[in-house]
Amino acid sequence: MAGIFQELRRRNVFRVTGAYVIAGWVLAQVAGTLEEALNLPAWFDTVIVAGLLIGFPIAFILAWAFEMTPEGVKLTPSLGDGETADQRPVRKLDYLLIAGLALVAVMIVVDRFIPEHKVALPVTAPVATETNGIADASIAVLPFSDLSPDGDQVHFSEGIAEEILNLLVSVKGLDVTSRTSSFQFRNRDVGVPEIAAQLKVRYVLEGSVRKSGETVRVTGQLIDAVKDIHLWSQTFDRPLTAANLFAIQDEISTAIVTELGKTLGLGNAVEVKAVTDDVDAYALYLEARPLFHERRQLARAETLLARAVELDPNFARAWELRAAIQGLLVEYGESDVSAEEHNQRVVAYANRALELDPNSATAMATLALLQMNRADIGPGFANWQEIIANLSRALELEPRNGSPLNWRALAYMRAGYLEEALTDLQNCVKFEPYYTPCRSNEVYLLLSLNREQEAFEAYLKMGRDGALRNEYAPLVLLAKLGEKNLFMAATNSPNFLYGWRRHEELYAAFRDIPGDHMELSNDLLRFFNERGDRNLTAISIAAIQLGNFTLRPHEAVTWSPGVHRYRQSPEFHQFIKNTGVYDFWREAGFPPQCRPVGKDDFACD
């Protein structure tokens, strides 16, 4: 054994092997750096390392077989007696080995003890990674705090945060938590790591706004909640102008995309367009928008928007939101103006918005909704193919917009395409978890698909999440499941049947839907006419399930098991034909639960 080692030493195999390992290590480091810097394929450094491993035995054999002599390279066995290998290359090799080992030691020290500061070039697709089950490319934007001297700029502060959130939504590869989810943490004493854990995001943006006189200060900071460290923060002090506000939003959004892009490779840059040059009009719009989202104080929202477009007649966003609110003013009983007058305003305001911005998704969707409502209430014929196409166009522009998602689902529900409607509603719930209309309609739709347990769970979850409008409770489901207490709690809602005296009879009637309950149904309508301050839609949904087929059938219950008799009635057939649904079926195909009969009729289960 000693002889073998002596021979390896004499033939300089150890020296050559050491030199090869050092040189190979350096090459591997260079390959990894080039792959990252030049965006080379992921297999580039793997191929280099594989080549070095394959070359190692070849270098070992060559070192054993050949020696450097004063006369050149010779086979080791061919060295004559007294003839020795040239020691100069050996000494040079020793020097190289010492230098290489020193280089490796320095690089290890640098890598271990000096922080890394490198900027990766942006790539077109994000790296799909997770940390503790949370997607790395995920962020929540919290409502910005109002630090103004009088504390009267809450709407303005939160509006700025929402604008930044909407900008980040457009960034390819970044999962942004909805406004309704992240804004629930306003005024709550909860730490950022806990908020991030509840929202299932890795990054959180928080900040503050201070308006004082003619100046504004906006502060933003980006936090890695997993590591609990601040990645970026900046304060912007500017004169209070609309142009400066949009510039600040641009800078904050760009800084976030740049910071996260270093590791996540986010796809597209942020582009901020000034929507108005009047800061007061912008503040009014920011105050009105959450009222629309939350379906409250709609008359106040209308007043704010009217003032906004008075200050800036070219403010497209204010016009589109004003158009969308008109129908809600009637639905939620916040206007004394006739429905037809509001319909005319919808057309005028939405067309003005589209004139200013042809890509106004909200305006497109609002006009489509108006077509649907006119067909239902008129009665009037509607082109359902056009309605769905317009809503689809709106969603191409704003895929996460809860209103067109809900409205297209209603169009599908009216036409009986229940699976398509469910997809829209589930997307709406995903993007806007606390958007009540989508969640209420989802419960009814699951019931129409005979998925009763899922419908009941979805209903209970609305209650747990504080998103329950109990006047829209699925009464037929609660009665069937024997949930009498939940049934009574729902029917006693203040804007439903509170003050009516026949709740026990109503529960019994819903337990026996096939029975004759016309007198009870008529009494519901009498109660509404006497009080006049109750939700007509909710009362009509209850009345039609009890056999009153003269009412407009709401999309939510048209296909419910509780209205099977209605679908066999002449009133249903006439309604489907008058509203254009039947013609749509003949073009697009009948839904699974309906079929053509003869040349000009149909039947539905």
Q: What is the pLDDT of residues 465-522, one digit of tens each?
A: 888 888 999 999 999 999 999 999 999 999 899 999 999 999 999 999 989 999 999 9
Instruction: Report whether 248 contacts 272 (CB < 8 A).
Output: no
The residue from 88, 113, 138 where one domain ends is 113
Residues 98 and 138 placed together within one structural domain of the fold:
no
Q: Do 218 and 82 share a domain, yes or no? A: no
In contact, 202 and 196? CB cutoff 8 Å: yes
Residue 315 CA to residue 352 CA, distance in Å, equals 10
Enclosing domain of residue 33: 2-113
Query: What is the per-residue pLDDT for 502?
Result: 96
Radius of gyration of the chain from its Cα atoms, rounded to whole angstroms:
35
Residues 82 and 163 both lie in one domain: no
Question: Is 271 inside any structural domain?
Answer: no
Domain membership flag for residue 313: no
Place of tokens 């939510």: 556
- Length of the chain equals 605
The two tokens of residue 326 are 């008109």
Q: Domain boundary residue among 264, 284, 317?
A: 264
CATH number of the domain that residue 443 is part of: 1.25.40.10
Residues 586 and 553 in one domain: yes
200 shares its domain with 141: yes
- 135 lies in some domain: yes
Q: Is residue 95 part of a domain?
A: yes
Pair 399, 538 in one domain: yes
pTM of the model: 0.71
Euclidean distance between CA atoms 87 and 107, whole angstroms:
30
Indicate if 82 and 206 belong to the same structural domain. Answer: no
Q: Are residues 139 and 89 in the same domain?
A: no
The answer to whether residues 37 and 80 belong to one domain is yes
Are 60 and 138 within one domain? no
Are 203 and 87 part of one and the same domain?
no
Q: How many CA atoms lie within 13 A of 250 on its CB side?
A: 11
Give pLDDT tens digits for 562-574.
Answer: 788 889 999 999 9
Residue 279 lies in a domain: no
Write the DSSP assignment of 280-349 as a string of letters. HHHHHHHHHHHHHHTT-SHHHHHHHHHHHHHH-TT-HHHHHHHHHHHHHHHHTT---S-HHHHHHHHHHH
- Asked which of 87, 113, 139 is the last residue of a domain, the reply is 113
274 within a domain of the structure (yes/no): no
C-alpha–C-alpha distance, residues 92 and 67, integer Å: 14
Q: Are residues 108 and 137 in the same domain?
A: no
How confident is the model at residue 550, as a pLDDT? 83
Low-confidence residues of the chain: pLDDT under 70? 1-53, 55-133, 265-270, 377-380
Looking at residue 198, which CATH number applies to its domain? 3.40.50.10070
Give how many domains the chain has, as a whole number.
Answer: 3
The answer as to whether 349 is a domain residue is: no
What pLDDT was estimated at residue 410?
Answer: 94
- Indicate left, alpha or beta for 359 from its phi (over 0: left) and psi (-120 to 50: alpha): alpha
Classify residue 37: in a domain, yes or no. Answer: yes
**Is 403 exposed, middle or buried (CB count within 10 Å of its CB: 0-12, 13-18, 19+)?**
buried
